[in-house]
Structures are given as structure tokens and as C-alpha cells.
Structure 1
Amino acid sequence: MERRDFLKTTGLLTTAAGAALALPTGIARAGTPQPSSDIVLGRWMSRVADDVSLCNITIPGTHDSGATAGGLWWQCQEWDIRRQLDNGIRYLDIRADHHDLRICHGNVTMPDTFTDVLRHCDQFLARNESETILIRVKREGAGNGISGQDFVSAFDRIAGPLKKQGRLIQPAVIPTLREARGKVVVISNAGGLPGIPWAGGDCGTFENGHMVVQDHYKAPTAPRSWKKFTQHVEPFLVRAHNVPIKGKLYVNHLSATGATSGAATPYTIAKDDAFSRGVNHLTKDRIHGWTGPALGIVAMDYANLPDGQGAWLIHDLIRRNH
């Protein structure tokens, strides 16, 4: 069955087209340049050549993409998956547990399941076949009782139809955009699950044969956003820009939390406050006007934040590819 026929039969196909970049009403400050409207967020990858490896593309992403609830310490996004994709995000960080692969952050369950995530992705790709979506699939919240083998079995059951139809791939190496267009690409962060192997441990910078990952998620002491940016995010941006490793995908997490100490929430790390800029805005300022090698995946919390903290950052990341 063709993707469009599948979506019609399930009621998922909509007539919405990729919209040009538009900011929410009323968020622009006087004297602040708005993102150019020449980028079509639903199809920005259409302007990237087929033979480019995914590791040579700068890709806007979200951290804990499905964590849209749970309160201050656990929520990381306000946009749901559909809105993230419509607004230019092409990397999703999906953590799941339970036999239906319910989305979770730690042991806190979220409204959606992995089935919901794949529906949104497939619906989006049906409308925008030039695009690809990278999904990190992580088994999290292991205290809920699902074994590693059960996790892989649940993934195969849920993703099997899309995989059979060639709309979801689990490559062992990083593909080119030609190989990935119109498809979900799995990055595996679960034992026994095929896919591009994730490089990571608990908290730090990690590297394997395919990826280099910065994930210092424990919030530093005050000024927390500034220290997270200057100690971890900025050096990793510079590393990706100045010393790229051929064939390796960089993933730079802007996210941090002080959940264990009560020091800071994902929201307060990401956003500006009355005295200083948050990590998202600091990152936007740092990369604005940069040219040269790709920065890899830049994964943010609260991608919807206004005034340089969300839309402008996504815009500047996409702009590096054009």
C-alpha cells in the first residue's frame, strides 16, 4: 500500500502544506530582524543535495521530544511532535517504556505512545517527501517492568508495517540524504535494536564509530544557562565547526536540568530571564552568520520559545545548509 493510500484509510492525510517560516503573532521586538520567509520549513531539505551524508547537514532537533507534560522538572517541550516537524525540526529524541512503548521521561509517562509518534512522522513525510526524520529510540524508565527483549519486540510490532513498506530504516551506518528521503531513520539507544548506534553514557561527552555526543545534562551552579553554554555547548559547536570528524554525526544537547538538586528546570535553562539569556538564545547568537562545516544535530528544549530562543535558532541552523 502506498503511503498516501495508507494515510487516507486511517484518516491521517491532511491537506496542509509545508508553510513558510512564520513567527507567532506579537513576539517580534522592535529592531529585531525576523527570520527570512524564503525558508519553507516543511521542505527545507529539498534544497540539500542528494549525495550529502546526514552527518554533513546541520539539523535542528529537540531533546526529550515527547515530554510535553509532567510538570516543571519533566516537561521539555510545548510543541507536540506534529508542530515540531512542521516548524523545521528533523531530529526527535524519543524515550519509551511499557509494552505499548508509551513515551516517558525517566519514570514519568507522557500522553503519547510510539505509535502516535510514528503516525505524526509518516503523515508529515507523506506531505513532504524531500525530508527525512532521525529518531533516537531510547529505552527509558526501566523500572516499569519491560525487558530489553520485550522492548525490541514491541518496537518491531509497532514499526514493522512502516519498515516493510520501506518508510522506516534501521541502517548500521549513516546514510546519504538520497537514501533517507521520505523515511524515518532510527538511531538505536536500546540494546538489541538495530539502527545507527548511539554514543552515550550518563552525563558527559561520548564518541563511537558513528557519532559524537555532548550531553552534559546536570545543571551547573549559577549562572546556570551561561555555564552550560560556555562550558559544554559552545566548545562542542566550535569542535564540530573547526575539527569535524569525517563520517561522524555530532549531537549537541542544549538541555540541562537541576531536578536532582532543585536548582533549575529545563525551561529556566532554555529561556531568557530578566537578567540574562538562556542557552537557546546564546546558541543562536553564537552561530549567527557562521559558514563552513555542518554542526550536526543541535537538540534543544522548548523549541517554541520566542525572540531568538526558538524560531530564530531553528532558522539559523537551517540556513547553514543553503
Structure 2
Amino acid sequence: MGNIQRKEYDATSNPAIKNPDWMSLVPDGKSLCDLSIPGTSKSTWLHGGDINQRQSWNLTSQYEAGIRFVDISLQYYRKELSLFPVKSHNHSFDAVLTDTINFLRHHSKEVILIRLCEYSNFGKGKLFPQLVIRYVLDAGLSWFWKAPGIPTLGQVRGKIIILRDFDDPVIGIPCKNFIVADDQYVPTIFDIGHKWASVKRNLTEAQNSKGDKMYLTFTSGRSSGAYPYTVAREINYKLYNFLEHSEKKKNRWGIIAMDFPGSYLVQTIIQSN
């Protein structure tokens, strides 16, 4: 993979451009449905070799670059919720919340959306929602958006929004209400075109929608025949060109969750607002 840094793809540890306060320029009355939000896929998978690594920036660097959606995989491990994979990250869910709250303390006009999914339940599936709420309460309930409805930006500045990829209505917004494109399986490098077609279709639908639903597009994909960085290089390049050649007006792209995004690609999404 190497430490490559391009406009659309970055495998280094430090973003070339930082934009930690971009939401402060967006009006309070704007619904989250109307925003274009840069995000990452498998946001804490910073290790694991070519077949598993999905990001090179840690969470704080992602937030400073302008990332506002993160995708967190959790599993029950030693009586707590740990980041998956455990071998790569000896941190519990606490670490994610601590890093996020520390960022929001210094950038109180911003909002962080955290998609939570249970990577493997090990028979603890029924406990998962209760464990999530325990961590939320320990971190401080005032940091979180509690309702299932989609808010305006003004209602949630300085807060974390949990996007629930599990059933129990504990806290936050259910992902099942979103329009999602998440074709993660890319059999070979020759199938990247099919992946891009899925991405482009969801983005175009988001652009032309009435703005009453949230769209979430994962540009990431992988398999033993197409490593994450290989897919990311191709898809990020196509995405950057697609966004650059869109009409120079405000565009609603929804949430775009990427692997190894380059700083210029992140800024291009932000500028769509």
C-alpha cells in the first residue's frame, strides 16, 4: 500500500488539509437530511494488513480533517464493548466516546454521527443495547441526541448522534430508516466498475431527493481478490471526479463513508453544502 497521499486517496497518518469547524458555517435551520457529510467506513480499522486495513488516520485526525460520520464495529469482549478487531485495538467503546467528546469540547458547533453495529455477538446480542446505553450514561447523556427523529443542525450542535444498526430502541436514530448503498463485497479488481455504479446511483438519488430522508453511501469494498486500498484508490478517484464535475451549486449527497479518503476529496464533499 505504501504511504501514498493524493487529493482523493491518503494512506498516510496526517491529513494534508484540516477543517475542524466547517459545520459552524452551515445555518442552524438546515436538516441533517439536506447535508453532504464526509465519513469513513470501518473507521477504527487502522491495522490488520492489506486485506483488513481500511483507514490510516486515527479518529481525532479524521474529525480534524472534517469527517463527521464514523462507522464503529463493536463486540463483547471481557465483559465490555471492545472495538473490532480486538487484536488491532486494545480499546473499548470508551476510547471512541472520549476522543469524540474531547473533539466536541473544542469544536462546539460540530456534530458527530456514530454508526454502531455489533460485529459478533458471541451469544450476547440481547445485552448489546443495554451495554451501549451504559457507555452512553457513563460518558454523560447530555452529549447525545436522544430522539429517533432526524434533527436540524441547530438542535444537535456539540452532540453525538448514535445511528443504531441494531433493533432495540435505546437511543439515537435507526439506520433502517436510511436509504443505504453498502455493497461491500467486490470479488475482483475487475468488478470495481459494478461497485462504482452502485455508489453513483445512490448519490444521484440523494441529489434528486426531496430532502426528507437520510442517504448513506459506502464507497468501500473488499475481498481476497480486491483489497480495500485497491478498491479505495479506484473508487475515490471516480468519486472525486464525479463531485468535481457536478454542477457548481449546493448538492445534497447525504453521508459518504469512504476508505482512505484524501483531504481534497473530503473538502469537496464539505463544499457541496
Q: TM-score range with shorter-chain normalisation?
A: 0.7 to 0.9
- Runs of 4 or more, structure 1, over 4 Å off, are 26-29
The Cα of 1:250 is off from its aligned counterpart by 0.4
Could you say what secondary structure the match of 1:267 adopts?
Answer: helix
> Which amino acid is 1:264 matched to?
A
Matched-pair identity in %? 30
Gaps of 5+ in 1: 1-25, 30-38, 200-207, 272-277, 304-309
1:131 aligned to 2:110? yes
The Cα of 1:180 is off from its aligned counterpart by 0.9
> CA offsets, 1:55-89, max 9 Å, x none?
11100000011111222222211111111111110
Cα distance in 1 between the residues matched to 2:117 and 2:138:
20
CA contact (8 A) 1:74 1:108 kept: no
Mapping of residues 228-243 of structure 1, within 5 Å: 228-229=195-196, 231-242=197-208
> Which amino acid is 1:246 matched to?
G
The Cα of 1:150 is off from its aligned counterpart by 1.9
Could you say what secondary structure the match of 1:126 adopts?
Answer: helix
Cα distance in 2 between the residues matched to 1:263 and 1:28:
24
The Cα of 1:140 is off from its aligned counterpart by 1.1
Alpha carbons of structure 1 residues 122 and 232: separation in structure 2 relative to 1, 3 Å: same
2:186 corresponding residue in structure 1: 219
> Which amino acid is 1:256 matched to?
G
The Cα of 1:198 is off from its aligned counterpart by 0.9
2:265 corresponding residue in structure 1: 313
Alpha carbons of structure 1 residues 93 and 63: separation in structure 2 relative to 1, 3 Å: same
Gaps of 5+ in 2: 8-16
The Cα of 1:148 is off from its aligned counterpart by 2.4
> CA offsets, 1:120-160, max 9 Å, x none?
10000001001000000111122xx2512322222122110
Mapping of residues 112-261 of structure 1, within 5 Å: 112-142=91-121, 145-164=122-141, 166-192=142-168, 193-199=170-176, 208=177, 211-229=178-196, 231-242=197-208, 244-258=209-223
The more displaced of 95-104 and 58-67 is 95-104
The Cα of 1:285 is off from its aligned counterpart by 0.5
Tell me the TM-score normalised to structure 1 length. 0.74
1:45 corresponding residue in structure 2: 23
> Which amino acid is 1:156 matched to?
I
The more displaced of 109-118 and 279-288 is 109-118
1:102 corresponding residue in structure 2: 82
1:280 alignment partner, one of 224, 231, 236: 236
Tell me the TM-score normalised to structure 2 length. 0.87
Larger Rg: 1
Q: Which has the higher contact order (CA 8 A, sep 6+)?
A: 2
Mapping of residues 51-90 of structure 1, within 5 Å: 51-90=29-68
